[in-house]
Structure 1
Amino acid sequence: MRKPTDVVLETEIGAKKLADAEVLGEKPLTGSRDDNHGGGPAPERINGRLAMIGFVATMAVELSSGQDVFTQISNGGVAVFVVTSVVLSVASLVPLLKGVSVQSKSKGIMTSDAELWNGRFAMLGLVGLAFTELVKGTPLV
């Protein structure tokens, strides 16, 4: 059974996490639906991580086997994508839900801003690769 002092302590810890997040300039996780849908810290970061993995994996398979993006997708790529998405999403959300900010882990050239920009470029790279191969009708490499 919870004691009233437990509730007060949990409230103080939660208030400190909110204050720390505001000082770091990030939107704090509140446990609401908005944390993962439109505007929270998770969606763009997770999509960027998936895009970075996807771009590197797509190019590696294309270089080694000569298969274009669409052939890779039709040869079992969807199943690999789903499994990778689930694992990466869970691995990304657990620290966020525990209150660990990405900015607090940023050091040197491995900053949270660099990760966001690399993810954005990887998303553009995947779309550009697919579009180019669709127009050309052959693998890019």
Structure 2
Amino acid sequence: MLQESKPDLNPSPNLKSKVSTGFTDVFAFSGPAPERINGRLAMIGFVAAIAVELSKGQDLFAQISEGGIPWFIGTSILLSVASLVPLLQGVTVESKSDGVMTSNAELWNGRLAMLGLVALAFTEFVKGGALV
């Protein structure tokens, strides 16, 4: 009697899906890089903007016009490279998630920081000066 081969309905949990490390895949619209990098930059930018406002009393537009652009470019390059190296090596953000610091929490914090920067700029524009 021939025995039919049945498909395995319970695949091994040790098998991981292959993560694409191609540059275009990482930077695709739904890829892991764009929103994460922008969110990380927004988190740093929001905290830095509020810190400078509290220490010097400068609004966001004054910070940018008085030497903030080189700091922005340098920080953008540094954080982008630091974020891309693991992604291009095939390390997923989800694999490093643990406890409170999950990849979902990072996405939401980044989204809120992006909205916070826009709200800060808009409020300071309407008010005509620093928020604090």
Identify the TM-score tier after normalising by the shorter chain.
0.7 to 0.9
Q: Give the TM-score normalised by the residue count of structure 2.
A: 0.85
- Pick one of 93, 110, 116 that aligns with 2:101: 110
Q: CA deviation at 1:130?
A: 0.1
1:29, 1:40 within 8 Å by CA — same for their partners in 2?
no
Is residue 91 of structure 1 aligned with residue 93 of structure 2?
A: no
The separation in 2 between residues aligned to 1:79 and 1:129, in whole angstroms, is: 21
Hey, what's the Cα distance between the residues in 1 that align with 2:17 and 2:80?
21
In terms of Rg, which structure is larger?
A: 2
Deviations 1:27-80 (A, max 9, x none): x32415242142210000000000000000000000000000000000111110
**Against the structure 1 CA distance between its residues 130 and 21, is the aligned structure 2 distance closer, same or farther, given a 3 Å change threshold?**
farther
For the Cα contact (< 8 Å) 1:46–1:92, is it kept in 2?
yes
**1:36 corresponding residue in structure 2:** 27
1 or 2, which has the higher helix percentage? 1
Distance in 2 (CA, whole Å) between partners of 1:123 and 1:137 is 21
**What amino acid maps onto 2:76 in structure 1?**
S
Q: Is the 2:57–2:130 Cα contact (8 Å) retained in structure 1?
A: yes
Alignment counterpart, residue 16 of structure 2, candidates 15, 20, 27: 20
Structure 2, unaligned runs of 5 or more:
1-14
Greater length-normalized contact order (CA 8 Å, ≥ 6 residues apart): 2
Q: TM-score, normalised by structure 1?
A: 0.80
Paired residue type of 2:16: D
- Superposed, 1:60-75 pairs within 5 Å as 60-75=51-66
Runs of 4+ in 1 over 6 A off after TM superposition: none
Inter-partner Cα distance in structure 2 for 1:20 and 1:137: 53
Query: How many residues matched?
Result: 118
Unaligned runs of 5+ in 1: 1-18, 23-27
Whether the 8 Å CA contact 1:48–1:118 is kept in 2: the answer is yes
Note if contact 2:21-2:90 (Cα within 8 Å) is conserved in structure 1: no
Q: Does 1:80 align with 2:71?
A: yes
